Amino acid sequence: MDFRLKVVGLAERVKGLRYMNKSKSLVNVELHFAFGKNWAEYAEKVTEAEIAEAERGLQRLLAQDRLDGLSFLDIGCGSGIHSLAAIRLGARKVFAVDLDADSVHTTQALLKRHVPSGGWSVKEISVFDLDPDRHGAYEVVYSWGVLHHTGAMVDAIESAARMVAPGGRFVFALYRRVWMDFFWCWEKRWYSKASPAVQRIVQAIYIWFYRFALWVTGRNFKKYVENYSSNRGMDFYHDVHDWLGGYPYESILPQEVDLLMQKLGFSRERVFARQGRFFGRSTGLFGSGCDEYVYRKD
């Protein structure tokens, strides 16, 4: 690792962990962005190609083609598409949870439509209320893009990690830290409380700049949006709304994740992280993007 990055990483670790824990009051759901409404709209139109893409996403993270016989807990299931993908890949017992009632209903509707035979359950539970004695421990605990939206990311990671069975895997994705984190945190808090009309205007402005940036770098916006489902089965426009409004918001460096996971008794299996060009971080002009982590419980 580059020496400068090491220094920045250490400073961040101290500063960052304080930043990460300061928003505990935000676990209050009333202050959260209405994720579920966005997912409800998306899930109505989810296509076979998007489900297949979600399957490929799971296969890539777990580095295996099938999940036959594995128990699977999906924390912060959102649209339910990844629970569905896990079932289609052979997971034996799928439990999907979300804090947002709309996400729960959307996941239930999606799974009922695609897997009427059952073998899955969906419940409205916060990650903080999960308990291995009551809900069981799972061979795969999956939480993509969730724990940084809980208002207390480190506590949420610890709580989710407790649900992993011995020898099982914890698969999660978290926003990487960028230089513009403070701006995005402010923007999301404001946007998540703005009226739908104002949100639509902000989306249009964001998309206009995005389009401009693609044009400057010689890429075609239409093609970009068409191929966007290659990004884990989500579509571009729902992801834009999710990005602009996803509040509470926290971010983390891979070094910090590693430190925490070691402390919790996990070993790194694989990490898909992008390193920024400015002292190990990107500017975050259009957002931060998620780094993906797979850890195994020792």
Provide the binding-site residues for ligand SAM, judged by CB under 6 A.
35-36, 75-79, 82, 97-100, 103, 126-128, 144-146, 149-150, 242, 246
Q: Which is nearer to ligand SAM, 20 or 99 (CB)?
A: 99
* 279 φ/ψ angles, rounded to the nearest 5 degrees: 50, 45
* Contact yes or no for 102/121 (Cβ under 8 A): no
Q: Which is nearer to ligand SAM, 53 or 242 (CB)?
A: 242
Question: What is the smallest separation between the CB atom of 39 and ligand SAM, expressed in angstroms?
Answer: 6
Q: Which is nearer to ligand SAM, 148 or 177 (CB)?
A: 148
Give bridge partners of residue 93 from the DSSP assignment: 71
Pairing mode, strands 120-124 and 164-175: unpaired
Helix (H) or strand (E) holding 254: helix 254-263
* 46 φ/ψ angles, rounded to the nearest 5 degrees: -60, 135
* Contact yes or no for 106/83 (Cβ under 8 A): no
CB burial readout 32-70, b (16+ within 10 A) else e: bbebbbbbbebbeebeeebbebbbebbeebbeeeebeeb
Number of H helices, E strands in the chain: 12, 7
Q: Which is nearer to ligand SAM, 127 or 253 (CB)?
A: 127
Q: How far apart are CA 86 and CA 48, in angstroms?
A: 14
Q: Which is nearer to ligand SAM, 150 or 255 (CB)?
A: 150
Structure tokens at 62: 């777990």
Q: How far apart are CA 180 and CA 199, in angstroms?
A: 20
Helix (H) or strand (E) holding 295: strand 290-297
Structure tokens at 13: 């670790």
Question: What is the smallest separation between the CB atom of 174 and ligand SAM, expressed in angstroms?
Answer: 11
Q: How far apart are CA 14 and CA 164, in angstroms?
A: 27
Question: What is the smallest separation between the CB atom of 17 and ligand SAM, expressed in angstroms?
Answer: 19
Q: Which is nearer to ligand SAM, 8 or 26 (CB)?
A: 26
* Contact yes or no for 187/288 (Cβ under 8 A): no
Residues in the chain: 298
Q: Which is nearer to ligand SAM, 246 or 280 (CB)?
A: 246
Q: Which is nearer to ligand SAM, 8 or 290 (CB)?
A: 290
Which residue of the chain is nearest ligand SAM when measured via CB? 78
* 214 φ/ψ angles, rounded to the nearest 5 degrees: -65, -40
